[in-house]
Amino acid sequence: MKNGPLFFLGIFAALALSWAGLALGPTAQLGGLAPYYDKGEDKAFPERSPGVASRGRLVYADLGCAACHTQEVRRPGFGDDQERKWGDRQSVARDYIHQDRVQLGQTRVGPDLTNYGARIEAAEKDPVRREQAVYNYLYRGTSAMPAYAFLFEENPANAQPSAKAVAREGDREIVPSARAEVLAAYLLSLKTVYDYPEAKPVVIAAEKEAEHK
Amino acid sequence: MISATTHVPASETDTTARGPLSLLILSAIKWLILSGLLSVIATIQLHKPSFLADCPLFTYGHIQALQETVFIYGWAANASFAVALWLLGRLSDAPLRGLGLLTVGTIFWNVGVTGGAIFILFGEATSIPFLQMPVYVHPLLLVSYAAIATPGVLAWTGRSTRATFATQWYAVAALFLFPWLYSVAQVMLLDAPVRGVTQAVVSAWFSSNLVSLWLLPIALAAAYYLVPKLSGRTLNNYHYAPHGFWTLIFFAAWNGARHLVGGPVPAWIPTLAIVSTALLLFHYLVIALNLRAGLTGGHGSNVLGFISLGLLAYLLGGVADVVFSFQHFAALIQFTYFPIAQLKLALLGAFSFPIFGALYYIVPRITGTAWPSAGLIRAHFGLSILGLVVTVASLAGAGWVQGQGLSEAGTSFVVIAARTKPWLMAATTGEGLLLLASLALGVNFIRLHAAACIGLVRSTIAMEGAAS
C-alpha cells in the first residue's frame, strides 16, 4: 500500500458506509414513526408521560439505574421475558418515540422495567399504596438491590402520620425526598400496554406446524 | 531476551520525545490504577449491594460509568496515543515533530477527563456506554485530540519511504477513525439525539467501533512491529496482511449491533451484525498467520510474553464473538455478565497486554534508562495473567449461571443473585490481582524516572567538574 490518499479514502469510505447503514438506515426507516391513533379510545399511543415522570427519568439516569435494569421486552424466542410477566408483548420501536434518551440497558442484574408501572397497578388497586410499595422498595432494597436511603429524609412526625412515610422512629419519620417522589412517579408511569399492529407476536413457522400436527 | 528491556543499545535510543511521551504514559498508568480500584469496588457492589450504598456519589451506576470512562479515556487513550505516536515516529525514520502541541493536547485531554470523571460522580453521566461524560466535556477532548494527533500526522506525511508497513496502517487508521467516530457519536447521541431506538443502534455502532477500530488496531500495530523485532523471525505470509487489514476496517464497523438481537430494532440490523462478525474470522486468520512467531511462546521475554497473550486473547475473543452470536447462545447470555466478560477479555487482554509489552520496550528507548526492576516486570506479568484469567473466567461463569436463572421464569432475582455470588467474589479477586499488577507497573515507572533524574544530575555535575 503506497498510495496515501487512496488509503485514507478507503478507510473513510468503510466507516462512512457503516454509518450510512447503521445511523441513516434506521433513521430513514423509523424516523418518521408517528404515534398510533386509536379511534375507539380517541387517543394516540404511546401517550406522553406527565412532566413529573419526565423529571423522574432524569433521576433514573443520574443514579445510573440502567446499569442493572433494562427497558425492553424481547421477541418470543429470545428468553422468557413474557413468561416473567415483563410484558404481554414484545417492545417495538414505536414505544420509544417520545423518549429523548432511550435507556434500553445492557445488563439484567434486576428485573426489566418496561412495564413496571403496569405490574404494580395490577397488583395494587389503591394509588397511594402503589407509591408506598415503590418507596419501600427504594428505601429498604433487597439482597440483590442496594437501598437508596439517601433519597429519603427525616421529618418531625405529626399526630397524623404521613401517608408516604416509610419508617417511624419516636417523633421522627422517614419520608421520600423530592427526588424519590419524581423517581417513583417515573417508575409508575412505565407501561407499554397498547397493542400496536406491528407488536402482534410473530408465531414462528415451526411452532405453527407443530400445532397443526 | 529480558535484555530487550534492561539493556538498550545507544543507537536505538532517541530521547527527543522523552518529555511528552513520558507525560502520556504517566497519565495512562495513573488512570489504569484508578480504573483498577474502581473495578474492585464495582464487583464488590455486585455481590454485596449495600457496599458504599449510603453515599449518593458511589452508587453502582456511578462507579460503573466512572470505571468505564477512566479506563477508555484515561488509560487506553493516553497509552495508545503514546504507543501509536512512537511507532509512527520510529517507522518514519525521523524524530517526532509537533511535540509542543502534543504536550499541550495531553494536558488538556487529561484535564477534560478529570472534569468528566468528577461530573459523573455528581450524577451527570449520560448512561450511554463509552460516552458517559456529560456533553460539555467532549468538545474539549476533541480539540485536545487534534493537538495530540499532530505528531502522528507529521510522521506519516514526512515518512522517508513511500512504501508502508502493517504497523503504520493500523496505527494511522486508528488515529484517523477515532475523531470520526467520536464526533459523530457526540452529535447523534448528545447534541442532536436521533429519534427513539435509533439511539440504541448508533450507540452500539459507536461503542463497538471504539474498541474494534480504535483501541485494538493500536495493539495490533504494536504487535506487528514488536513480534518480528523480538522473536528474530520474519512475519509469515505477510502478503495477506492487507487483506486482513481491509477485512477488519470494512466488517468490524457493522458488528456492534449484534447485542440488540431480539430487541425493538429492525431485525436486519442485528442480522447484518452477526454476519459481519462471522466474516471477521478471515481477519483473525490473517493475524494468526502473520504473527505466528509471536504466538508460539515468549522465549522468556516478558515483552513478547505480553504480546503473545494479548494476541491469544484477541483471537479467542474473536472466535467467542462468533460462537456466542448464534441465537441459542445469544438469547441465553444477553443481558448477563457474559458480554461483560467478553468486553474485559478484549480491553484487559487483547488491548492492554500488547500495550504493556510495547511500553516495556518503548520507555527505555525514549528515556535512555533501563527498567530498574526486572522483578517488578515479572510480578506485573504474572499478576496480569492470573488476574485476567480469573476475572474473565469468573464473570463468564457468573453470566452463564445468571443466563440460566433468567431463562427459568420461576427463578427470582434474589435467587439469581445468591447463585452468582461466588462467581462475582472470584471476579473481585481477579480485579484485585489486576490492580496489584498495575501498581507494579506504576512503581517501576516512577523508579525509572527517579533513576533517570539522578543520572541526569550526576552527568551534569561531572560535566561542570570537567569544565572547571
| pLDDT, tens only, B351-386 | 999 999 999 999 999 998 899 999 999 999 999 999
Q: What are the beta bridge partners of residue A156?
A: A172
Contact B215, B351 (CB under 8 A): yes
Comparing A106-120, B293-307, B349-363, B432-446, which segment has the lowest mean pLDDT? B293-307
Comparing A164-168, B16-20, B346-350, B371-375, which segment has the lowest mean pLDDT? A164-168
Nearest to A74 among B54, B262, B269 (CB): B262
- Measured CA to CA, the distance from residue B264 to residue A81 in angstroms comes to 13
Confidence band for B1, pLDDT divided at 50, 70 and 90: very low
Comparing A116-120, A190-194, B6-10, B329-333, which segment has the lowest mean pLDDT? B6-10
**Does the pLDDT value for residue B176 go beyond 60?**
yes
Q: Is residue A28 part of a domain?
A: no
- Residues B3-19 have a mean pLDDT of 69
DSSP, res B98: -
- Residues B9-21 have a mean pLDDT of 81
Q: Which residue has the higher pLDDT, B273 or B1?
A: B273
Which of B206, B208, B335, B340 is the best mutation test for A, with the most CBs of A within 10 A?
Answer: B335
Q: Is residue A19 part of a domain?
A: no
Do B266 and A33 make contact, defined as CB atoms within 8 angstroms? no
Please report the pLDDT score of residue B234 as a whole number: 87
Q: Is residue A34 part of a domain?
A: no
Instruction: Provide the b/e sequence for B62-95 (b: ≥16 CB within 10 Å).
Output: bbbbbbbbbbbbbbbbbbbbbbbbbbbbbbbeee
How far is the alpha carbon of B435 from chain A, nearest alpha carbon, in Å? Answer: 23
How far is the alpha carbon of A171 from chain B, nearest alpha carbon, in Å? Answer: 23
Cβ contacts of A22 on chain B, cutoff 8 Å: 201-202, 204-205, 254, 256-257, 269
* Topology annotation, domain B3-463: Cytochrome C Oxidase; Chain A (1.20.210)
Q: What are the beta bridge partners of residue A155?
A: A173
Cβ neighbours for B133, distance < 8 A, ≥ 6 positions apart = B69, B73, B112, B113, B116, B117, B119, B120, B125, B126, B141
| Backbone phi, psi, residue A172, to 5° | -115, 150
Q: Is residue A125 part of a domain?
A: yes
Evaluate the omega torsion of the peptide bond into residue A46 and state whether it is cis, within 30 degrees of 0.
yes
Please report the pLDDT score of residue B248 as a whole number: 96
- Measured CA to CA, the distance from residue B411 to residue B403 in angstroms comes to 11
- Measured CA to CA, the distance from residue B206 to residue B253 in angstroms comes to 9
Share of chain B above pLDDT 90, in %: 79
Cβ contacts of A91 on chain B, cutoff 8 Å: 263-264
Cβ contacts of B418 on chain A, cutoff 8 Å: 143
Q: Is residue A212 part of a domain?
A: no
Which amino acid is it at B88?
Answer: L
Comparing A185-189, B5-9, B173-177, B337-341, which segment has the lowest mean pLDDT? B5-9
Please report the pLDDT score of residue B299 as a whole number: 61
**Does the pLDDT value for residue B97 go beyond 70?**
yes
- Measured CA to CA, the distance from residue A19 to residue B276 in angstroms comes to 15
- Residues B281-286 have a mean pLDDT of 96
Comparing A154-158, B366-370, B402-406, which segment has the lowest mean pLDDT? A154-158
Instruction: Write the ipTM.
Output: 0.91
CA proximity to B363, closest of B9, B11, B13: B13
Residue where the block lists cell 513511500: B162
Contact A138, A151 (CB under 8 A): yes
Evaluate the omega torsion of the peptide bond into residue A5 and state whether it is cis, within 30 degrees of 0.
no
Which amino acid is it at B206?
Answer: F
CA proximity to B291, closest of B359, B385, B218, B228: B228
Contact B293, B227 (CB under 8 A): yes
Which residue range forms the structural domain that includes residue A69?
Answer: 39-198
Which of B119, B191, B198, B340 is the best mutation test for A, with the most CBs of A within 10 A?
Answer: B198
Q: Which residue has the higher pLDDT, B93 or B140?
A: B140
Tens of pLDDT, residue by residue over B246-258, are 999 999 999 989 9
Do A104 and B60 make contact, defined as CB atoms within 8 angstroms? no
Helices (H), B92-215: 99-121, 138-157, 166-185, 198-209
- Residues B49-58 have a mean pLDDT of 90
Q: What are the beta bridge partners of residue A172?
A: A156, A169
Tens of pLDDT, residue by residue over B112-164, are 999 999 999 998 999 899 999 999 999 999 999 999 999 999 999 888 888 88
Residue A74: which CATH number?
1.10.760.10
Share of chain A above pLDDT 70, in %: 93
Q: Is residue A30 part of a domain?
A: no
How far is the alpha carbon of B421 from chain A, nearest alpha carbon, in Å? Answer: 10
- Measured CA to CA, the distance from residue A121 to residue A130 in angstroms comes to 7
- Residues B172-197 have a mean pLDDT of 94
Confidence band for A75, pLDDT divided at 50, 70 and 90: confident
Which amino acid is it at B325?
Answer: S
Q: Is residue A6 part of a domain?
A: no
Which of B60, B161, B180, B195 is the best mutation test for A, with the most CBs of A within 10 A?
Answer: B195
Q: ∠ at Cα B349 (B450, B428), nearest 5°?
A: 85
Comparing A55-59, B80-84, B290-294, which segment has the lowest mean pLDDT? B290-294
**Does the pLDDT value for residue B425 go beyond 70?**
yes
Q: How many domains does chain A have?
A: 1
- Measured CA to CA, the distance from residue B83 to residue B221 in angstroms comes to 9
Do A18 and B205 make contact, defined as CB atoms within 8 angstroms? yes
Q: What are the beta bridge partners of residue B448?
A: none
Cβ contacts of A93 on chain B, cutoff 8 Å: 196-197, 264-266
* Rg over CA atoms, chain B: 22
For chains A and B, count residue pairs whose Cβ atoms are closer than 8 Å: 220
Q: Is residue A48 part of a domain?
A: yes
- Residues B436-463 have a mean pLDDT of 90
The kind and range of the H/E element at A45 are strand A43-45
Tens of pLDDT, residue by residue over B229-240, are 988 888 989 999
The kind and range of the H/E element at A10 are helix A4-19
- Measured CA to CA, the distance from residue A49 to residue A182 in angstroms comes to 12
Tens of pLDDT, residue by residue over A161-201, are 788 888 888 788 899 999 999 999 999 999 988 888 888 76
CA proximity to B276, closest of B321, B235, B241: B321
Rounded mean pLDDT of chain B? 92
